[in-house]
């Protein structure tokens, strides 16, 4: 009897030049999926993913559609190889859009257009270099939240990604983020480091982008997901399409409550967590949040076949 599964999809930060290259050599779904997204964007996304340069792949307007395509491609490989469907899905930040495509709520082409617009609006909301994000390791959530309140001054500085116990990301105006780093270390943080991102995601600086994204979401064709998707902003499953649209709009300026999301997945009786996409970031976080549940990252042919054998 197949185990009860949850699938999680990564967001920005898991991309790398050459990702999914081995899987693409054995599964046509990878190239086909990237071709679909490339046709929408009008540029060869697979060439960028395969050959780089990394600096171009890491630009928000390229990273977001590339990660969307990558997650959907791995999902399609999983299903084509006979992998069972999960009971629930979730995605970290951008990965929420990937989850909605895989759950049948969004067509891939529509998602590609939506994600491209999301990336554009996020980049325009804050000039390059004006915002920043940083990872704080070794402090409690409450300590990080107090740190942000104390160091913000008249600027924006917020705890935005609650990724695992003792691992919180902050975002806001660059000067405020930079002030927070030595202050975090003085509080006892093991590490406090700037992240290589071009926009300060999930903080109040993204409210203008959210307001504009709502207009695009209103014109986008959405369906009720065939598989429940737990949303970042509320840690709930949207009850209708209006709620789903609102969750996606709020996600831009609300924290990613990943610890709560993984625990909510556990409350549904899930026995195995699968990270679907390049990298192993979410698998690592999942193990830190709940050490009792097996967690697997599917990134190539070997891990795909091993994961299917393990859960069947």
Q: CA nearest 14: which of 49, 43, 42? A: 49
Residue 93 annotated among the catalytic residues of the structure: yes
Interacting residues of 101 by C-beta distance below 8 A, sequence separation 6+? 68, 72, 107, 108, 111
Token output for 134: 């940083």
Tokens of 199: 């926009």
User: Which two structure tokens, joined as six digits, stand for 31?
Assistant: 């190239």
In 126-149, which positions are buried (b, 16+ CB within 10 angstroms) versus exposed (e)?
A: beeeebbbbbbbbbebebbbebbe
Q: Identify the active-site residue in 14, 38, 93, 201.
A: 93
201 in Cβ contact with 160 (< 8 Å): yes
Give the Cα separation of 27 and 24 in Å (integer). Answer: 5
Among residues 128, 143, 200, 194, the alpha carbon closest in space to that of 171 is found at 200
Q: Which residues contact 177 (CB under 8 A, 6 or more apart)?
A: 131, 132, 133, 134, 157, 170, 171, 194, 200
- Going by C-beta distance under 8 Å and a sequence separation of 6 or more, which residues neighbour residue 1? none
Catalytic residue among 27, 92, 201, 202: 202
Active site residue 202: yes
Phi, psi of 48 (to 5 degrees): -65, -45
Q: What is the DSSP letter of 42?
A: T
As annotated, the active-site residues are 93, 202
């Amino acid at each position: 009897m197949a185990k009860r599964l949850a699938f999680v999809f990564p967001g920005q930060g898991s991309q790398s030049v050459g990702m999914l290259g081995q899987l693409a050599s054995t599964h046509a779904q990878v190239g086909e999926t990237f071709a679909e997204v490339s046709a929408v964007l009008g540029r060869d996304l697979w060439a960028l993913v395969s050959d780089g340069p990394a600096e171009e792949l890491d630009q928000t307007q390229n990273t977001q559609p590339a990660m969307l395509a990558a997650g959907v491609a791995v999902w399609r490989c999983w299903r084509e190889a006979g992998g069972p469907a999960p009971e629930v899905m979730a995605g970290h930040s951008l990965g929420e859009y990937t989850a909605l495509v895989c759950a049948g709520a969004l067509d891939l082409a529509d998602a590609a257009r939506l994600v491209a617009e999301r990336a554009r609006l996020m980049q325009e909301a804050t000039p390059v270099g004006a915002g920043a994000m940083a990872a704080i390791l070794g402090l409690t959530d409450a300590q990080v939240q107090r740190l942000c309140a104390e160091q913000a001054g008249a600027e924006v500085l917020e705890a935005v990604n609650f990724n695992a116990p003792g691992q919180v990301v902050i975002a806001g105006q660059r000067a405020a983020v930079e002030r927070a780093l030595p202050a975090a270390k003085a509080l006892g943080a093991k590490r406090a480091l700037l992240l290589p991102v071009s926009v300060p995601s999930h903080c109040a600086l993204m409210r203008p982008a959210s307001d504009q994204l709502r207009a695009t979401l209103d014109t986008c064709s959405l369906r009720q997901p065939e598989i429940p998707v737990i949303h970042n902003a509320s840690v709930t499953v949207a009850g209708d399409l209006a709620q789903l649209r609102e969750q996606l709009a709020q996600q831009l300026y609300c924290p990613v409550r990943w610890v709560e999301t993984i625990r909510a997945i556990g409350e549904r009786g899930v026995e195995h967590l699968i990270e679907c996409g390049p990298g192993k970031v979410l698998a690592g976080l999942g193990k830190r949040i709940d050490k009792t549940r097996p967690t697997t990252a599917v990134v190539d042919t070997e891990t795909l076949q091993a994961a299917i054998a393990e859960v069947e």
